[in-house]
Structure 1
């Protein structure tokens, strides 16, 4: 599950940065200064990268056996600026805590 978490973390950061570029730089240029070049360039790139983000989030959620609500919340995090960074930290802590719990369960034999 470590590789799935790494893939998710990398794409979450990339999607977050590209979305911030689109919203903070591209949208004001397009609507304030009538210059759509950033939106025309970064917009399709964000759409493509977001699809990769969805696949990475789905893969990680299936490996971690998350409930549907958590999986959908993580997937939607890539649509709101700055939220993908918060979600990436939360997901990392969930997966790390889940791994620590699994290791503890294996290391401590059940008492009879």
Structure 2
């Protein structure tokens, strides 16, 4: 597995998580606090999060497939982009689990004599 697979996943996890937090703040401001001016913000951030979440799903599925994750863990990784701040924690845990696999693939295996 290439390191770029993990890098793509990590970038999309952070982008998705930040957008979801911004969307949550926007919805709170719009619905609960009834502040003016949040309509456009919620619309733009919601659309951006929706489209980028699709990319997150693709990259997370690709990583999970190449890392041979169990189905339950892969589903949790895929759903982490829907819970505010969950993607930060899940990304860190996945990165710790996948990095040894990257190093193992990068180390040249000794030639059999």
Is residue 2:77 matched to residue 1:74? yes
Whether the 8 Å contact between 1:57 and 1:75 is mirrored in structure 2 is yes
- Superposition misfits of 4+ residues, deviation over 6 angstroms: none
Gaps of 5+ in 2: none
1:63 matched to 2:61: no
Q: 1:1-112 counterparts in 2 under 5 A? A: 1-24=2-25, 26-31=26-31, 32-35=33-36, 36-100=39-103, 106=109
What's the TM-score, normalizing by structure 1?
Answer: 0.85
Give the Å deviation of 1:67.
1.1
TM-score by length of 2: 0.84
Q: Which has the higher contact order (CA 8 A, sep 6+)?
A: 2
Give 1:101 shift.
5.4
Q: CA deviation at 1:100?
A: 4.5
Moved more, 1-10 or 95-104: 95-104
More helix by share: 1
Q: Are the aligned partners of 1:30 and 1:37 in contact in 2 as well (CA < 8 Å)? A: no
Q: Separation in 2 of the partners of 1:87 and 1:97?
A: 17
**1:36-91 CA distances to partner (integer Å, 9 max, x unpaired)?**
22111111110001000000000101111111111111000010111101011011
CA distance in 2: counterparts of 1:5 and 1:40, whole angstroms? 30
Q: Figure out how many residues of one structure are paired with residues of the other and give that number.
A: 108
